[in-house]
């Protein structure tokens, strides 16, 4: 059981996360939704201690995560692997090496790493790539892959950590609908088959409804909804997203990715394949 107790985070005078209380049993697939600035990323980053809470505490079983330091903190950060909107791969390294980087915590230089990996790690990395259906890309430079493929590489890298929990910060926000579906299907499959808890921030409501058994809605740092998709009524959606700047009502379609709301007559797959092969997205990669 994972437990956030009265967790708050302040940046200067701004309360980014406000007294959040959430308990998550192992193996749940949870979607966190809310407007931009609601505190979703800060919440996720506190879970793996990229950001520390200003007050409150975080617990995993008997461990108080929020007070860990040194090696125990690094072990925790391995246990809750994180993936990001911009993938954070090393674009000039091959895919296989990127995946094997998941075996390490923090090393000063990439070059020192290159000689470390043994046969066992290579086999493990290939298996992780096979698991995500992209083993054929193993020797390509990561930066040459499409966005959807890069996100799958990032998930394979996360799996190399043998995580108990997978945290994903808007993992499909840069992807076209077909790739968004492939990535969400992969997260769901990992959740169902390995029993790994998945907590994912999502900028679109339909994705959360379709993939998550539990939805946490945030507004101005607070949890304003916590329940299954079936309880997410129009009123609950309004509490999360509020009204538009002009006072207009927020309608559910305004927060939708169109993962599966494409009109049946539209040649969705063909259009997406075209997008994928043209690879039109700038390779806005962080990484080293």
Ligand X SMILES: Nc1ncnc2c1ncn2[C@@H]1O[C@H](COP(=O)(O)OP(=O)(O)O)[C@@H](O)[C@H]1O
Instruction: Select the span of 39-47, 92-100, 183-191, 244-252 touching ligand X (CB under 6 A).
Output: 39-47
Number of residues assigned to the chain: 288
Residue 69's binding partner out of ligand X, Mg ion, none, with CB under 5 to 8 Å set by partner kind: none
**In terms of CB distance, is 129 or 232 closer to ligand X?**
232
According to the binding rule CB under 6 A, does residue 42 interact with ligand X? yes
According to the binding rule CB under 6 A, does residue 41 interact with ligand X? yes
**In terms of CB distance, is 34 or 102 closer to ligand X?**
34
Q: List the structure tokens of 171.
A: 């993992």
**In terms of CB distance, is 41 or 149 closer to Mg ion?**
41
Bridge-partner residues for 165, per DSSP?
80, 197
Residue 193's binding partner out of Mg ion, ligand X, none, with CB under 5 to 8 Å set by partner kind: none
In the chain, how long is the greatest CA-to-CA distance? 60
Residue 131's binding partner out of ligand X, Mg ion, none, with CB under 5 to 8 Å set by partner kind: none
Dist CA 12 CA 255 (whole Å): 30
Instruction: Select the span of 8-16, 61-69, 78-86, 130-138 touching ligand X (CB under 6 A).
Output: 8-16
According to the binding rule CB under 6 A, does residue 38 interact with ligand X? yes
According to the binding rule CB under 5 A, does residue 191 interact with Mg ion? no
Give the orientation angle of helix 177-194 with respect to helix 147-159, to 10 degrees.
20
**In terms of CB distance, is 36 or 248 closer to ligand X?**
36
Dist CA 270 CA 25 (whole Å): 40
Instruction: Select the span of 37-45, 128-136, 205-213, 223-231 touching Mg ion (CB under 5 A).
Output: 37-45
According to the binding rule CB under 6 A, does residue 20 interact with ligand X? no
Dist CA 288 CA 285 (whole Å): 9
Q: List the structure tokens of 3.
A: 């437990």
Burial class (CB in 10 A: 0-12, 13-18, 19+), 239: middle
Q: Give the phi and the psi of residue 142 in degrees, each rounded to 5.
A: -55, -35
Q: Which residue's C-beta sits nearest to Mg ion?
A: 41
Dist CA 53 CA 47 (whole Å): 9
Contact 142/153 with Cβ under 8 angstroms? yes
135-157 b/e (C-beta count within 10 Å ≥ 16 → b): bebbeebbbebbbbbbbbbbbbb
Q: List the structure tokens of 284.
A: 């806005």
Number of residues engaging ligand X in binding (CB under 6 A): 11
Question: CB of 277: closest distance to Mg ion in angstroms?
Answer: 30
Residue 77's binding partner out of Mg ion, ligand X, none, with CB under 5 to 8 Å set by partner kind: none
Tell which positions 38-77 bind Mg ion, by CB under 5 A.
40-41
**In terms of CB distance, is 166 or 268 closer to Mg ion?**
166
Binding site residues, Mg ion, CB under 5 A: 40-41
Binding site residues, ligand X, CB under 6 A: 11, 14, 16, 34, 36-42
């Amino acid at each position: 059981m994972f437990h956030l107790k009265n967790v708050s985070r302040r940046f200067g005078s701004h309360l980014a996360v406000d007294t959040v209380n959430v308990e998550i049993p192992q193996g749940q697939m949870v979607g966190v939704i809310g407007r931009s600035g609601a505190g979703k990323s800060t919440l996720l980053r506190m879970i793996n201690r990229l950001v520390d809470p200003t007050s409150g505490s975080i617990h995993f079983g008997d461990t108080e995560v929020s007070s860990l330091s040194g090696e125990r903190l690094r072990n925790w950060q391995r246990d809750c692997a994180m993936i990001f909107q911009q993938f954070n791969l090393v674009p000039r390294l091959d895919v296989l090496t990127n995946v094997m980087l998941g075996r390490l915590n923090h090393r000063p230089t990439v070059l020192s790493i290159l000689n470390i990996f043994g046969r066992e790690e290579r086999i493990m990395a290939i298996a992780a790539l096979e698991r995500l259906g992209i083993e054929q890309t193993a020797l390509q430079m990561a930066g040459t892959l499409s966005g959807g493929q890069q996100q799958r590489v990032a998930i394979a890298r996360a799996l190399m950590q043998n995580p108990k929990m997978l945290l994903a910060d808007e993992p499909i926000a840069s992807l076209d609908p077909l790739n968004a579906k492939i990535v969400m299907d992969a997260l769901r499959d990992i959740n169902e088959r390995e029993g790994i808890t998945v907590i994912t921030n999502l900028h679109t409501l339909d994705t959360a409804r379709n993939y998550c058994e539990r939805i946490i809605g945030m507004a101005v740092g607070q949890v304003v909804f916590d329940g299954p998709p079936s309880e997410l009524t129009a009123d609950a959606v309004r509490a999360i997203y509020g009204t538009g700047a002009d006072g207009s009502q927020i309608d559910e379609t305004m927060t939708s990715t169109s993962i599966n709301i494409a009109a049946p007559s539209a040649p969705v797959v063909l259009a997406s394949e075209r997008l994928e092969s043209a690879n039109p997205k700038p390779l806005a990669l962080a990484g080293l």
